[in-house]
Structure 1
């Protein structure tokens, strides 16, 4: 049995429904999946129901946007209580910040003569946690750009005219919040941060695991992070970071966490305490 523990649905910046993800996982022979939408747990109930119908194990999760020592880091929360009041309050704040970020990006586009309206982006996103990919899709849909790549290259990449930085919470706060909701906190795709010096500091504030396997990690990087996980006595996870069809061919199942490591994560003690 294999698991894919990093998946996004249309409740954040993916294009597939939770039901699509569950059906795809079943077709690919996976035994378990986690839904880890950005700054939301909105799709977890539907994903859980879909997985139950198909005989799959489901891990309720989220991916929190955080910051540590001046670097953006993403923290995956696994086995979180999706009804936890403090978690939901914090997520609501970040969803509001994401919506305001969309409005600011559109305002900057308007200053450049691009007549996109924020309502068009929100209608396309149809979720509480919109992001840059929704702006890119809206630019293509309304004829302002010919492709998603063009939208990012001309307007949305960092230092481009419509780029707006994300709101981020302190990594210690993100980890504490996940723990308060009964979950385990895992650093997402550490190879994309290009600074392993962040890891010891995250361990000090309660990090539980590393996402050693990821669709953008090479085999050498995966081996490197497996060794770091061993050194720091961290749990090991892996996931494809599938966003449906928004970023090329679907990645679902391209990363498969082995059964023993999934079971180690599932059975790990879950620290519970007040969020920092």
Structure 2
């Protein structure tokens, strides 16, 4: 059993990388990928703790890409987390997030939702701060009844507290992951709000640009989603990957490795990702 999509306190998860490794070992996982949003700062801790726990560590990242309808994320696997170009580019992403967070707070306060940066910092982890932490701060302040309500009412795209930020294009994300020696995978493609025919064309275009895989197994997928994306992977000769998108206590019913109970990520996905790693110069 493997899980190729998890988050730690370095982005919007609630567990340290060491805790994720311990949980993976307890649940019998053979491999665990850490794919924090736009940061690699948790990878050294992952690598340092995984070997002793007999869990294979997969250094990864999840990059947000430009997307007009819905959201598009590109996962990177077996990246070199010390790659200077990668570090430079994700630092620019972080700067953009910081600017956006300030603008969101300004909007919320103008709307009558009093919120201070200190409120957000109390909810944040060790590195990346984003909308999930602002949602948690709104909840703590009593402005909303749940973090989901914060997004539905205020923070989701199109809502009054939303602020856009600069993102790299999907092709730029693929290039960056390749530059860092990794394999790129389209995460949870169902969050891209396109008709199937257009989405299938998009996936094909990304494959032509160097996309290595598609996340066909995902905790929130119905069987028909899994079948569809598995078929696309076969047709386009993409690696069929998967993961829980584990965030810890933020989604208490979702379990590492199995999601809501039905998820099974094919073990062969790990070997296929390894085989697809670009050769070093």
Q: Single out whichever of 220-229 and 38-47 deviates more from structure 2.
A: 220-229
2:213 touches 2:238 (CA, 8 Å); kept in 1? yes
* Residue 258 (structure 1) aligned with residue 266 (structure 2): yes
Q: Single out whichever of 179-188 and 165-174 deviates more from structure 2.
A: 165-174
In structure 2, C-alpha distance between the alignment counterparts of 1:269 and 1:11, rounded to whole Å = 25
SS for the counterpart of 1:65 is strand
What is aligned with 1:126? 125
Give the paired residue count: 272
* Residue 114 (structure 1) aligned with residue 113 (structure 2): yes
Change (3 A) 1:200 1:115: same
In structure 2, C-alpha distance between the alignment counterparts of 1:121 and 1:69, rounded to whole Å = 28
What is aligned with 1:170? 169
Please provide the CA RMSD for this pair: 1.8
2:174 touches 2:211 (CA, 8 Å); kept in 1? yes
2:69 touches 2:192 (CA, 8 Å); kept in 1? no
2:18 touches 2:45 (CA, 8 Å); kept in 1? yes
What is aligned with 2:184? 185
SS for the counterpart of 1:196 is helix
CA displacement, residues 105-127 of structure 1 (integer Å, 9 cap, x when unaligned): 11101101222112321342133
Give 1:193 shift: 1.6
* Residue 247 (structure 1) aligned with residue 251 (structure 2): yes
1:6 touches 1:241 (CA, 8 Å); kept in 2? yes
Give 1:186 shift: 0.5
In structure 1, C-alpha distance between the alignment counterparts of 2:2 and 2:125, rounded to whole Å = 28
Change (3 A) 1:59 1:39: same
What is aligned with 1:137? 136
Give 1:58 shift: 0.4
What is aligned with 1:238? 242
Unmatched 5+ residue regions in structure 2?
A: 194-198
Give 1:269 shift: 4.0
Give 1:171 shift: 1.2
Give 1:271 shift: 5.7
Written as runs of structure 1 = structure 2, the 5 A alignment for 1:1-276 is 2-67=1-66, 72-194=71-193, 195-254=199-258, 255-270=263-278
In structure 1, C-alpha distance between the alignment counterparts of 2:213 and 2:130, rounded to whole Å = 26
Unmatched 5+ residue regions in structure 1?
A: none
2:9 touches 2:127 (CA, 8 Å); kept in 1? no
In structure 1, C-alpha distance between the alignment counterparts of 2:96 and 2:157, rounded to whole Å = 18
SS for the counterpart of 1:250 is coil
SS for the counterpart of 2:200 is coil
In structure 2, C-alpha distance between the alignment counterparts of 1:243 and 1:176, rounded to whole Å = 27
SS for the counterpart of 1:197 is helix
Give 1:155 shift: 1.6
What is the TM-score with the length of structure 1 in the denominator? 0.92
